[in-house]
Structure formats: C-alpha cells, structure tokens
Structure 1
Amino acid sequence: MYDDNTNQWYVEIANPLEQQNGKHAPRLRFPVLVPEKYEEDIIDLVIGESVGVNAKGKPIIEYRPYTVEIKRKNGEYYIHLVYEEEVYGRELAYDEPIQAERIAGIDINIDRIAVSIVSKQGNFLQSKVFYCHELEYVKANKRNNIIGETVRDVYDWLLQENVGAVVIENIQLRQRHDTDKRFNRLTHHFNKKKLTETILRRGLRLGFRIKKVNPAYTSVIGRFKYMKKYGLSVHESAALVIGRRGLGYQERLPKELINTIKTKVKRHLIAVLGSMEESYKQSKSGTKQRQYLGMMLKKIENFKKEHEWSLWNILHKFCWLNQYQIQLKEV
C-alpha cells in the first residue's frame, strides 16, 4: 500500500498470533523501499485501474491477480510480486510500417490529451481533446484514477472510430519547444511517464498496434503548418504531426514559410547584426550572438541542403503566430 501523507510504501502482514476470536488478525505494518523503475508498475498493480463508476458515483476499480512472496537474504527482507500481463496488441519498431486504415496520433500534456485521426495516406480526418485538469492538483492515488478514466475514454472513442493503430511520443527523446513558466511550476505534479505508459499498456491490452516516434518540433510544425489549415488547437495539430510521423511522412515547409525565412527572417537577422553597438560586438556575449546569427544566416542561404527540422528550428526561434499571422521575435 502507498500512504499519501508520508509518501511511503508499506506492506501489511496479518499477525495470527494475536488474533482474537471472531475478529480479523491485527496487521503488522512495515515500510518498503520500492525502486523507482518499478514504482509505476506497482502502482498499477496494487491500486488498480478505474474502469467506471457504480450507481452511487464511486469508482469501480479493476485489479489484476498477483501473488506476494517475502524472502530473507543476508539479513534483509525482499518482497516479490508475481503477476501476468495480458497483451493482444503489439509495439512496432520505429522503422516498421503501420498496417491500418485509420491511425491516431496522440499529444500528451499536463491537463489534456489531444488525439488526431489520420488516414493511412496521412490525411487529417478528425480530432478530439480529452481534458484532465485535476491531474495538476490531486494526490497520487486520485491521480491514478483520473489517468485510468481519461485513457479509457480515449480508447473508447478510438474503438468507436475504427482506429487500428496509435502513435505516441517517445518521451525519452522529449524536447519541449513550447516550455513556459506555468509548465515548469506544474511539472512536479504531472507524471508524464505514468500517463504515457497507461496509454501504451491499455492500447496493447485492447489489441492496438502502437508506435513511438521522436517528438522533435511536433508542436512547432503543427502550429505553423496545420493549425490554421484545419482550424485545430496547437495540441491537436501536434497530434496530427505525430500521427503522420508514425506513417513515415516528412514535414517539409510550405513555400510561403520558406519565403518567410528567406525574406523576413533573413532581413531581420541582418538588421540585428547591423544594429549592434561596437562595444557589445567585442564582448563575450556579443561575439557568441554574432556567431549564432551568422550560423543561422548560413543555414538560410543553404536551405535546400538543410534537414527539415533545422528549418523548423529557425522558424521556431525567430517567429511566432498572432491570430494566424507570422510575427518576428525580438533577438
């Protein structure tokens, strides 16, 4: 069991030696050290997964069977949990093609899960956002219930829409290009790994093919390329990019964005270099900035040889959207 008040795991053992007639045996409670890499699996196993609510509005928790063994070794006691994982789906390799007619890209955030469905040709079909604002504030056991309920709602919708495969971010490669102060304050409340693993585990149980992709620039690409085109939020747009990336599609910059970089951004960077005061140019920070801007200008000049992500990075660094209109950032 896990105690939210002490943030500590415990094991309770019945003590039959002190059991009184007609009463339950008293419990002996001992603190347990749980390795971090197993903590999420144990939470799922011991706390269970919320699968609905009863007539009184209380959550219905589904538990998986498991056995507990306590072993003594070198004067220390170890607890072994043994359980089986039923899996009907499969996790695909990064270069393995997706065999499905409809694919869902999923963008996971601290207060919502955005899902966009695409065809196998990479065309946008529809999207939906599943909100879970309470994750920012509740304790661990309640958070586990909310995650279970939200992920269940996601898959109920995907099954209804005949989706056969799911694409999610590989959080080990996660890079946030939209970090803000609010996100930094709430990071410790939000277990991204827990939510992602719940999506993965439930999808495999339900028979989905699941693929992980590099999340680099998905929000940036979605914002500049698809948000206005399909009338989506930035998170739905990112989910669309994730789904397309799972299918192997490259996100080249449209001609209008290339022109923006070659004209507006280029002139902007040249103007910044030209307006630097001589004293600042000679300073350490000024030298670094001149070198950086020079490197960016070189990339713009040789844009045809650059990787798409390099160009998206330039757009991200020096541009932002205001009512779908591209504005230049201060450098």
Structure 2
Amino acid sequence: MVRPTIPRNYKGLLDVVLAGRVRYMGRVVVRDYGVRNSRLWVHGEIHMTVPLDIYYEHMVRHKKNSGKLIGGIDVNTDRLNLAIIDERGDLRDYKTFWFSETSRKGFSRRRAWSIIGMRIHEMLDYAYHHGVKTLFLENPEVLGRLKLMWIRNGDRGHENYNHKVAIFRSSIIERIAIKAPLYSIETKYVNPRGTTSSIEHDELMRKYGLDRHTTSAHLIALRGLKHQ
C-alpha cells in the first residue's frame, strides 16, 4: 500500500479533485527506489494539474486586500528585493529575501526551487501585511529581448548577459505572478530597461542611500506608479 504525504494546506483542493468535481491530469514521478530488508521501496511524487481558477479558489490565503500601497520587485539569482511606495511615490518600506544558498555548486535544483518558493511566499505575505495592493515586476518578455541585444552588442560583462541567469530570473518572476493572487495582490509589468543601470537609477541610489538592488526595486515601483 502506498500512503502519500499530503500537505495540510492542499487538503481542500485535493478533496475537490478526488470527489470528481474537477478534471485533472496526473502523473507519478519516481525519484528513487531500492531493496531494504528484502522489501522493495520507492520514493516518488504524485503530480496533478488542475485549472488555475480552481487552484486560486481553494488555496487562497487572503481573500480581501484593503491595502493602497505599491510594491516593486527586483529579482536576482540569490535574492528578492522588495520596495514599497505610496501614491505620492514616497518610499515607505523595503526588505530583502535571501536564497543565496541555492546558488552553491552542487545544490539540488529541486531543493533550490523549494527554498525559492518559500521566499516568494514570505515576500508576498510581507507585502500583504504592509499594505501592498499592486506589485510591479520586470516584464520577462522584454528581459529576453534585452538579453539578445546585449549578446549582439558583445556586452558579456553585463549582469544579465548569461542565458541561464536570464531564464532563471524570468522563471522566478513568473512564479511570483502566479502566487500573488493567493494574497489578493495584483501584479503588473514594467519595462526593465534602465532599472539596473541608468542615470535615474544612480541618482535614486544616492538620494536614499540604498544598495543597487533595492534601488532597482524602488525604481520598478516608481515606474509602475507612473504608468498605471
């Protein structure tokens, strides 16, 4: 008999699926197997794909959001930088969510995404409890086009040049956008051009005395406020 371990917060969603009220696609992934004490053992996972609206309905963490503030997120390979501003553009708060251990050589990719997922939830929970209603992210499609431009120009020293880094950052951005509705936070995108290297960025960094990544998050929030 196989008895899967089911996280408590997935029970409501799983009950709906097993009751047959939702169509789903499923698969079993075997991670490892062997023989112990003359008995076969198998370690694996059960994956289910359900409609996104059903996922939001049963996995929501905060159904209402009375916040009025705006957040900006700068995504890097080892951290998430959050900056929060008000409707006038004044900086109200900022915080960094680290996952630097995931970039160590030999670190399990599966474990890395698990840790990054936890940091994403921590960031969204922090944003929700600090009044963020709308969260702005760099547009991953534009990030991809900028990467091609940097390659054509031979700018190999640029921090976004590496293809794997660009894909990794875009994947994190997409996961933030998927998880944000669980906290009743709306996500929107801004053009990432100049958010990490520009006169505007440098002036903002000097004005507030912030590090360059937090400044990027601040600039993303300001662009979102300007164009929303």
1:227 to 198, 205, 227: 205
Q: Which moved more, 1:120-129 or 1:218-227?
A: 218-227
Which residue does the alignment assign to 1:240?
218
Q: 2:89 aligns with which of 102, 111, 122?
A: 122
Counterparts in 2 of 1:133 and 1:104: CA distance versus 1, 3 Å: same
- Dislocated runs of 4+, deviation >4 Å: 60-64, 176-179, 181-186
Greater mean alpha carbon deviation, residues 191-200 or residues 165-174 = 191-200
What secondary structure is seen at the aligned counterpart in 2 of 1:232?
A: coil
Deviation at 1:102, TM superposition (A): 0.7
Give the conservation status (yes or no) of the 8 Å contact 2:67–2:131.
no
Q: Which has the higher contact order (CA 8 A, sep 6+)?
A: 2
Residue 69 of structure 2 contacts residue 131 of structure 2 at CA under 8 Å; is this kept in 1?
yes
Distance change in 2, residues 1:81/1:146 (3 Å): closer
The residue aligned with 1:173 is 142
CA distance in 1, matches of 2:108, 2:183: 28
| 1:164 alignment partner, one of 125, 130, 133 | 133
Q: Distance in 1 between matches of 2:187 and 2:86?
A: 15
Q: CA deviation at 1:180?
A: 3.6
Find the aligned partners of 1:185 and 1:129 in 2 and give their Cα distance: 23
Task: Give the one of 169, 173, 176 matched to 1:196.
Answer: 173
1:92-111 counterparts in 2 under 5 A? Answer: 101-111=68-78
Contact 1:106 1:114 in 2 (8 A): yes
Which deviates more from structure 2 when the two are superposed, residues 109-118 or residues 122-131? 122-131
Structure 1 residues 244 and 108: CA distance shift in structure 2, 3 A: same
- Residue equivalent to 1:146: 115
Aligned pairs (5 A) from 1:1-331: 65=14, 67-68=24-25, 82-85=49-52, 86-87=55-56, 101-137=68-104, 138-174=107-143, 175=146, 180=157, 187=164, 191-221=168-198, 223-248=201-226
Q: How much does 1:87 deviate? A: 3.5
The one-character-per-residue Cα deviations of 1:5-61 (angstroms, maximum 9, x if unpaired) are xxxxxxxxxxxxxxxxxx66xxxxxxxxxxxxxxxxxxxxxxx9xx9xxxxxxxx88
2-side partners of 1:181 and 1:217: how far apart?
A: 12
Distance 1:69 1:186, change over 3 A: closer
Aligned equivalents of 1:179, 1:188: Cα separation in 2: 13
CA distances 1:93-121 after superposition (whole Å, capped 9, x unpaired): xxxxxx96210000101111111101112
Larger radius of gyration, structure 1 or 2? Answer: 1
Alignment TM-score, normalising by the size of structure 2: 0.64
Give 5+ residue unaligned stretches, structure 1: 1-22, 25-47, 52-59, 71-79, 89-98, 250-331
TM-score, normalisation: structure 1: 0.46
Report the CA distance between 1:82 and its aligned residue.
4.5
CA distance in 1 between partners of 2:115 and 2:166 (Å): 13
Kindly indicate whether the alpha-carbon contact (under 8 Å) linking 1:135 and 1:189 is maintained by their aligned counterparts in 2. no
Distance 1:217 1:179, change over 3 A: farther
The size of the alignment, in residue pairs, is: 175
* 8 Å Cα contact 2:79-2:99 kept in structure 1: yes
CA contact (8 A) 1:135 1:190 kept: no
Q: What's the % identity of the aligned pairs? A: 22
Q: What letter is aligned with 2:113?
A: N
